[in-house]
Structure 1
Amino acid sequence: MTAPPARKQFTVEDYARMRETGILTEDDRVELLDGEIYLMSPIGPVHVALVNKLNRILGQQIGDQGIISIQNPIRLDPRDEPQPDIAILAPRDDFYASALATPDDILLVIEVADTTLTYDREQKLPRYAQAHIGEVWIIDPSAQTIEQYTNPVQGLYTNRHTVLPGENVRAQNIPSISFTSDRIF
């Protein structure tokens, strides 16, 4: 009888020490999910364009109601520190200089899934639900859809709405965010 090799589970503190000591550098595109370090996919032109379009639209609509955080880490719990493409955070005077955003700070998470649709749905979405992030959007450029997930209960989103081309998307917790999907595709 053989056993699979044991895996080392990391905490966010372990992960931070790896960055501080140079084991992981700023050039390493990685994130911590469920205690494991995942390599993130390279960012291509479609991804860049969608994030830039969303940043412009959201910035025009949100004003001082929140902080738009682009591809920065958020701390969900002691074993999860993902880097969503966009996170809308509650306003804070220090703009999160003193500590990373935690679930109570996060109003909306957006993942652009040009090459990561399965990973975003199967790995990241459950972590967001377990952390009670109230709303997550997964943008699928190939299908030109926005999957809108709300109402997390016991680690699962109980509501999923797919915004089709030409339809309007409205953030549940940020009423000022509303636009047609055609503006980004």
Structure 2
Amino acid sequence: MKTLAKWSVDDYHRMIQAGILQTRRVELLRGEIVEMSPETPIHYTTAKQGAKYLETLLAGKAEVRFNGPITLADSEPEPDIAVVRLPESTYCNRHPHPEDIFWLVEVAQTSLKQDLSIKTAIYAAAEIPEYWVASLSTMQVTIFRQPIAGQYKQRTTVQDGSIIPLAFENVAVSVKRLLAQTSS
């Protein structure tokens, strides 16, 4: 049986700085450099509109990052949306770490299986308090909460109504708006 060489986050950063990964759309997941799924127009548009919507809801409360990396112990994934602590200047010299993150959102079309399995396990192991997967095929959002021992203990799927994020009990996120189904 062959053992794959695992890369550390520092190794990954050195490869990026050296330009080795410049032409590749990759992310580091559990020490492995993994090709990212190609973004379809609907995926990109939904994620971008979702980020803009969350920016309006969370103005002055949190920084909403779009398609940017986060740094975990053995991974550096690039969630579609990361809602992180202010001030934004905190991230001038580093990407957000688990303690900076309120919640993450992955918009899934071709990546649904990976987002519901591998990324869920990675985010739970990093104790990200909340993780949402917005499925473009079912137009539903699956909400993961309560990370304990590398697994989320709570999983809820919603198709309409609002989601109240754990970090902001006075903010109601419309499922339809997050999925870019309406502009109202």
Q: Which TM-score bucket, shorter chain as reference?
A: over 0.9
**AA of the residue aligned to 1:81:** E
Q: What residue is the counterpart of 1:161 in the other structure?
A: 156
Aligned with 1:152 (options 134, 138, 147): 147
Shift of 1:99: 1.5
How do 1:123-134 residues align onto structure 2 when only pairs under 5 Å count? 123-134=118-129
Where does the alignment leave 5 or more consecutive residues of structure 1 unmatched? none
- What is the alpha-carbon distance in structure 2 between the residues aligned to residue 169 and residue 66 of structure 1? 17
Partners of 1:180 and 1:107 in 2: how far apart?
A: 18
Task: Output the CA distance in 2 between the equivalents of 1:49 and 1:93.
Answer: 23
Equivalence map 1:1-185=2 (5 Å): 4-25=1-22, 27-77=23-73, 79-92=74-87, 94-164=89-159, 166-183=160-177, 184-185=180-181
Task: Go from structure 1 to structure 2 and tell me whether the alpha carbon gap of 1:30 and 1:134 turns closer, same or farther (over 3 Å shift).
Answer: same
**Structure 1: distance between partners of 2:37 and 2:31:** 19
Residues 38-82 of structure 1: CA deviation (Å, up to 9, x unaligned): 0001111111121122122101110111111111111111x1111
TM-score, structure 2 as length reference = 0.92
> What are the Cα deviations for residues 90-146 of structure 1, in whole angstroms up to 9, with x where unaligned?
002514012111000000100001110111111111010001000000001111100
Tell me which amino acid in the other structure corresponds to 1:22: G
Deviation beyond 6 Å, 4+ runs, structure 1 = none
Q: Tell me by how many angstroms 1:176 deviates.
A: 4.4
Q: What percent identity do the matched residue pairs reach?
A: 31
Question: What do you get for the CA RMSD once the two structures are aligned?
Answer: 1.3
The structural deviation recorded for 1:147 is 0.3
> Structure 1-normalised TM-score?
0.92
CA distance in 2 between counterparts of 1:168 and 1:128 reads 23
Q: Residue type of the partner of 2:132?
A: W
Are 2:51 and 2:65, in contact at CA under 8 Å, matched by a contact in 1? Answer: no
The letter for the 1-side match of 2:162 is: N
**Contact 2:9 2:28 (8 Å CA) reproduced:** yes
Residue aligned with 2:89, SS: coil
Give the residue type in structure 2 aligned to 1:119.
Answer: Q
- SS across alignment from 2:91: coil
Q: CA separation of 1:176/1:61 partners in 2, compared to 1, >3 Å: closer, same or farther?
A: farther
How far residue 173 of structure 1 moved from its aligned partner, in angstroms, is 1.2
**One-letter code aligned to 1:147:** T
Q: Give the Cα–Cα distance (whole angstroms) in 2 for the partners of residues 33 and 5 of structure 1.
A: 19
